[in-house]
Structure 1
Amino acid sequence: MSTTANTSSPRSGVRRVLHDNGLGIVFGVLFLLMLGGQAVSGHAYFNDQQISEGVEPVSLGHYLTSSSFAVDVVENWQSEYLQFFLYIFATVWLVQRGSSESKEVDDVGPESERDQRIGPYAGPGSPRWARTGDWRTVVFSRSLGLVMGGIFLLSWGAQSVAGWAAFNAEQLTSRQDPVTWPAYLGEPEFWNRTTQNWQSEMLAVGSMAVLGVYLRQRGSPESKPVGAAHADTGETG
């Protein structure tokens, strides 16, 4: 009685997982590396400030649980998720002729149920909430933007609390009175931290949308095909 050898192996299975999820895995690893680099360099910078002010330096563990480290981390998170949130919703209604980041110029709006393959037009492989045609489809139809917006609000709130704690720590070090959280929200320090991140995100998104009209990156889905005309819109390479 003959048997067919099973050519698959755990090793090949691992390679397949890594291949199929390489983008998320690589950027996840890079995130952890960069966060570790920020922790080490931020700790060194923080202790330099402590010493210059005649205060004892702190351990790495103490720094990682401090409001100074927390505010430096989450102030960047909130600006990134604001960028995604605005871009996801803006590209429903706004277009950029010639950009791969844009829909076709005549396709503004949420599009029809047939185009979006929801309700009666859903296929057998469509997510369950896309097939129901009720409130679940309404929520699922906007779930990406809602989650990005929610993460933005949570991280911005975390930034305000961590920034408030760090601000009051500096106030006490300078022998000044601490402020309440609502009062901190009106401080120039809070809005300086916020807007310096926001302006850079808006510049980056706008640059990507416009530069992609005239420039190419071969093989990237973020770019049009190299030979595509500048006026071609919504094409990816």
Structure 2
Amino acid sequence: MNKHSFFYRNGLSVVFVTLFIITLMAQALTGWKQHNQELQEDQAPTIAFSTYLGTGHFISATFENFQSEFLQMALYVVLTVGLRQVGSAESKKLDEPEDVDREPQPGKDAPGPVNAGGWRLKLYSNSLSIAFFALFIISWGLHLYGSWVNHNVEQAAKGLPEENIIAYISQAEFWFETFQNWQSEFLSVAAIVVLSIFLRQKGSPESKPVDAPHMETGK
């Protein structure tokens, strides 16, 4: 019998999933009110909350944030394979071998693809970055779709003709939404990479030990 409770063993994921659900609901409710206010200003009829969840306004706002987060994690996973930052807790060591670089060995406790070998092992060896890039592409596509639908709703409210998705994606609006999210994610990664050189958080796996020298690389 496991001596630890379910929450003790899974607390990090439980807390973050709970925070995600709460903030997503808060976003949906406040976004619904904002959207209805915009509709009233354009003399258009307001919509129910359930209807709002299928609108371009909600889809765009939601996946605009998702896609930048998944891109950040995908690039972080891939770039930390080969790039280093001296002194950072987020970097592999400059010269010493790392456990993550060793060749996978089959065994009774190894994941199934490791024991299977071949293409399954090759795919599994890169599955984390593949998953993040796939989630990024899906989220980016849904952000584009939602923004396009919402753009045409605004066009109709102003008495202007609708535009096809090719015409919309060639405009600055969608790319402005995209790049303002990407740059914030890249900044946050750069911040933790650099700040972890000089600053500490006792007990956190994202920090070096409190008494570690500034130029010691890795955890």
User: In which range does the TM-score fall when normalised by the shorter chain?
Assistant: over 0.9
Deviation at 1:17, TM superposition (A): 1.4
Residue aligning to 1:208: 192
Trace 1:8-19 onto structure 2 (pairs within 5 A). 16-19=5-8
Q: CA deviation at 1:56?
A: 2.5
The answer as to 2:102 corresponding to 1:116 is: yes
CA drift at 1:128? 2.1
Structure 1 match to 2:55: 66
- Provide the C-alpha distance between the structure 2 equivalents of 1:172 and 1:68, rounded to a whole number of angstroms: 14
- In 2, the alpha carbon distance for the partners of 1:147 and 1:166 equals 28
Shift of 1:182: 1.6
Deviations 1:77-126 (A, max 9, x none): 00000000000000011111111110012369xx799x4241xx344322
RMSD: 2.0
**Residue 165 in structure 1 maps to residue 123 in structure 2:** no
Greater Rg, structure 1 or structure 2? Answer: 1
| TM-score, scaled relative to structure 1 | 0.86
Report what 2:203 is aligned to: 219
SS at match of 2:163: coil
User: Which residue does the alignment assign to 1:188?
Assistant: 172
Cα distance between partner residues in 1 of 2:41 and 2:142: 29
Deviation at 1:57, TM superposition (A): 2.1
Say yes or no: does 1:28 pair with 2:17: yes
What does residue 88 of structure 1 align with? 77
Aligned residue for 1:21, secondary structure, equals helix
- Answer with 142-151 or 35-44: which moved more: 35-44
- Could you tell me how far apart the structure 2 residues matched to 1:60 and 1:130 are? 47
User: Do 2:42 and 2:158's aligned partners in 1 also have CA atoms closer than 8 Å?
Assistant: no
How far has the Cα of 1:171 moved from its partner? Answer: 1.1
SS of residue in 2 equivalent to 1:81 = helix
- Residue 4 of structure 1 corresponds to none
Q: 1: CA distance between counterparts of 2:93 and 2:108?
A: 27
Q: Give the distance between the partners of 1:24 and 1:199, measured in 2 at CA.
A: 26
* 1:42 corresponds to: 31
SS in 1 for 2:5: helix
Match of 1:135 in 2: 119
Deviation at 1:133, TM superposition (A): 3.3
Distance 1:107 1:190 in 2: 44
CA distance in 1, matches of 2:90, 2:65: 23
Q: 2-side partners of 1:194 and 1:68: how far apart?
A: 15
Any conservation in 2 of the 1:100–1:213 contact (CA below 8 Å)? yes
Q: Which fold has the larger relative contact order, with Cα–Cα distance below 8 Å and residues 6 or more apart in sequence?
A: 2
Contact 1:117 1:123 in 2 (8 A): no
Which whole-Å CA distance do the structure 2 matches of 1:228 and 1:106 have between them?
A: 18
Equivalent pairs counted in the alignment come to 219
Task: Give 4+ residue runs of structure 1 displaced > 4 Å after superposition.
Answer: none
Partner residue, 1:5: none
Residue 227 of structure 1 aligns with an amino acid whose one-letter code is D
Output the TM-score relative to the length of structure 2: 0.93
| CA distance in 1 between partners of 2:89 and 2:26 (Å) | 34
